[in-house]
C-alpha cells in the first residue's frame, strides 16, 4: 500500500509519487484528481508523458487563466524528462501556481535524482509506491484492501488469495473487490477456494506445499499446470525455497506456542501450524538436500540450463523424497 508524508492534502501544490508499482502510482494520481474534481467539477486534467512535456510546455499549462479554473497536471516517468524540461520543473517548484496541482511520478532510482531531491526540498507531498516483490508485502496489501472497505477476511483467506492470484496487484485488488461485492460476512479460506480454485491449483505455492509434504505426483501435476498457465518459473523456485526454509527454520526452533514461534521466526501463527504439519518426515540432512535442489533449479531457470521445466521437475521430486527421509531412515 502507498505510504504518504505528513502533508496528506491531495490538493497540495505538488504531489510526488515515488516508486515502480503501477497500481499505486495510478491510485496516487486518482486520489489527487478526485479531490480536485470534488472541489471543482470542471477541473482540467492533463496527463503527460516525458515526450509530451517539452521545454516551455509546463509554463503554458500553468499560466494564469481568465476563468481561474482548477487544473491538475500529471507528469509520468519524470525521471525521463529532458535536461531543459527538468530546469522548467525545478523553476516551477520554487513558485507553484494557485489552483494548480502538479503530480510528478518518479521511479525513485538514480536517474533524474536531481529533480526528485528538488521536489522534496520544495516540500512536495510525497506518496511512496514501492514495487511489492515480497509475498509478505502482497499479503499486507490484501489485508489493507479488505480493511479499506470495512470488511473482515481471515488470515488464511488473505494468504489463499495471494497464493491463488500471484504478484499482480491489480488482479489482487480486483479479486478483493469481487469477493466484497459477492459475499456477505467474513470472507474465509473456503470462500476464496470456491472463487479461485483453478487459480490456486496453478499457483507456485501449491506446487511448494505439495512438494514439502512429500506428495510428488500431486506436486508434479500442479507444476505442469502452473507452467502451462503462464506462471513464471522463477516464482516457483522462490516458493519452493520459502517452503523448504520454513521447514528448516521451524525444525531448528525450540518448541513453544505458535504466537511465540511466529515472533521468533517472522511467520504468522497460522503458518506455524501449517509448517508443523508439513515437517513430519523431514530430517536436517533432508533439508540440506532440498535446499541444494532448489539452488540448482534456480540456476537452471535463470539461464544455467536448457529446460526450466525439467529443472523444476527434478527439484520437486528431490524435495518430495527429502520430505520422506525420516521414514526411509
pLDDT band at 47 (very low <50, low <70, confident <90, very high): very high
> Lowest mean pLDDT: which of 1-15, 57-71, 165-179?
1-15
Domain end (from 112, 129, 146): 129
Asked if 57 and 164 sit in the same domain, the reply is: no
pLDDT the model gives residue 230: 74
pLDDT of 4 higher than 60: no
pLDDT averaged over every residue in the chain: 87
Domain end (from 129, 149, 177): 129
Tens of pLDDT along 86-118?
A: 999 999 999 998 889 999 999 998 999 999 999
More confident call, 193 vs 154: 154
Q: For residue 64, give Cα distances in angstroms to 13, 198, 329.
A: 15, 56, 82
Average pLDDT over residues 276-292: 90
Tens of pLDDT along 286-295?
A: 999 999 999 9
**Angle formed at CA 268 by CA 208 and CA 273, multiple of 5 degrees:** 65
pTM, to two decimals: 0.61
Tens of pLDDT along 167-218?
A: 788 889 988 998 999 899 999 988 888 877 666 555 788 899 899 999 999 8
Pairing of strands 100-106, 125-129: unpaired
What is the share, in percent, of the chain residues with pLDDT greater than 90?
54
How many domains are contained in the chain? 3
Average pLDDT over residues 11-17: 96
pLDDT the model gives residue 6: 46
pLDDT the model gives residue 189: 87
Asked if 220 and 310 sit in the same domain, the reply is: yes
Asked if 251 and 316 sit in the same domain, the reply is: yes
Tens of pLDDT along 129-143?
A: 998 888 889 999 999
Find the DSSP H helices in 188-307.
189-201, 204-212, 216-228, 233-252, 258-265, 269-278, 284-299
pLDDT the model gives residue 18: 97
Domain ranges, residue 148: 135-196
Looking at the domain assignment, is residue 236 inside a domain?
yes
Looking at the domain assignment, is residue 289 inside a domain?
yes
Q: How far is CA 320 from the centre of its chain?
A: 29
Query: Is the CB of residue 159 less than 8 Å from the CB of residue 272?
Result: no
Average pLDDT over residues 39-60: 92
Looking at the domain assignment, is residue 192 inside a domain?
yes
Asked if 228 and 273 sit in the same domain, the reply is: yes
Looking at the domain assignment, is residue 6 inside a domain?
no
Asked if 29 and 100 sit in the same domain, the reply is: yes
Asked if 217 and 234 sit in the same domain, the reply is: yes
CATH label of the domain that carries residue 180: 1.10.8
Asked if 252 and 142 sit in the same domain, the reply is: no
pLDDT the model gives residue 12: 95
Looking at the domain assignment, is residue 292 inside a domain?
yes
CATH label of the domain that carries residue 53: 3.40.50.300
Domain end (from 129, 150, 174): 129
pLDDT of 234 higher than 60: yes
Residue pointed to by grid coordinates 521447514: 247
pLDDT of 329 higher than 50: no
Asked if 159 and 122 sit in the same domain, the reply is: no
pLDDT the model gives residue 107: 93
Asked if 50 and 104 sit in the same domain, the reply is: yes
pLDDT the model gives residue 307: 87
Write the CB contacts of 30 (distance below 8 Å, at least 6 apart in sequence).
Answer: none
Asked if 239 and 157 sit in the same domain, the reply is: no
Q: State the distance between the two ends of the chain, measured CA to CA, in whole angstroms.
A: 47
The residue count for the chain = 329
Asked if 97 and 191 sit in the same domain, the reply is: no
Looking at the domain assignment, is residue 4 inside a domain?
no
Amino acid at each position: 500500500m502507498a505510504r504518504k508524508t505528513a502533508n496528506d492534502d491531495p490538493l497540495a501544490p505538488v504531489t510526488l509519487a515515488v516508486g515502480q508499482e503501477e497500481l499505486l502510482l495510478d491510485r496516487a494520481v486518482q486520489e489527487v484528481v478526485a479531490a480536485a474534481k470534488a472541489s471543482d467539477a470542471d477541473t482540467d486534467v492533463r496527463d503527460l508523458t516525458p515526450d509530451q512535456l517539452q521545454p516551455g510546455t509546463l509554463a503554458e499549462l500553468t499560466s494564469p487563466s481568465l476563468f481561474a479554473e482548477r487544473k491538475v497536471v500529471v507528469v509520468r516517468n519524470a525521471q525521463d524528462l529532458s535536461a531543459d524540461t527538468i530546469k522548467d520543473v525545478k523553476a516551477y517548484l520554487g513558485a507553484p501556481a494557485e489552483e494548480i496541482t502538479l503530480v510528478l511520478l518518479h521511479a525513485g532510482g538514480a536517474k533524474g535524482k536531481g529533480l526528485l531531491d528538488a521536489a522534496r526540498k520544495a516540500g512536495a507531498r510525497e506518496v511512496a509506491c514501492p514495487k511489492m516483490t515480497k509475498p509478505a508485502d502482497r499479503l499486507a496489501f490484501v489485508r489493507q484492501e479488505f480493511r479499506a472497505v470495512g470488511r473482515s477476511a481471515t488470515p488464511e483467506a488473505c494468504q489463499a488469495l495471494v497464493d491463488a492470484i500471484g504478484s499482480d496487484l491489480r488482479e489482487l485488488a480486483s479479486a478483493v473487490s469481487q469477493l466484497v461485492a459477492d459475499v456477505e460476512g467474513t470472507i474465509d479460506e473456503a470462500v476464496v477456494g470456491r472463487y479461485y480454485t483453478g487459480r490456486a491449483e496453478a499457483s507456485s505455492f501449491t506446487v511448494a506445499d505439495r512438494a514439502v509434504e512429500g506428495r510428488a505426483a500431486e506436486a508434479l501435476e500442479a507444476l505442469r499446470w502452473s507452467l502451462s498457465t503462464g506462471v513464471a518459473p522463477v516464482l516457483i523456485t522462490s516458493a519452493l525455497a520459502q517452503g523448504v526454509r520454513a521447514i528448516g527454520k521451524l525444525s531448528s526452533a525450540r518448541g513453544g506456542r505458535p504466537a511465540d514461534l511466529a515472533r521468533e521466526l517472522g511467520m504468522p501463527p497460522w503458518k506455524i501450524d501449517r509448517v508443523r504439519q508439513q515437517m513430519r518426515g523431514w530430517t536436517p540432512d533432508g533439508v540440506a538436500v532440498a535446499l541444494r535442489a532448489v539452488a540448482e533449479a534456480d540456476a537452471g531457470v535463470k539461464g544455467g540450463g536448457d529446460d526450466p521445466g525439467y529443472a523444476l521437475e527434478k527439484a520437486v521430486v528431490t524435495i518430495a523424497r527429502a520430505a520422506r527421509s525420516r521414514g526411509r531412515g
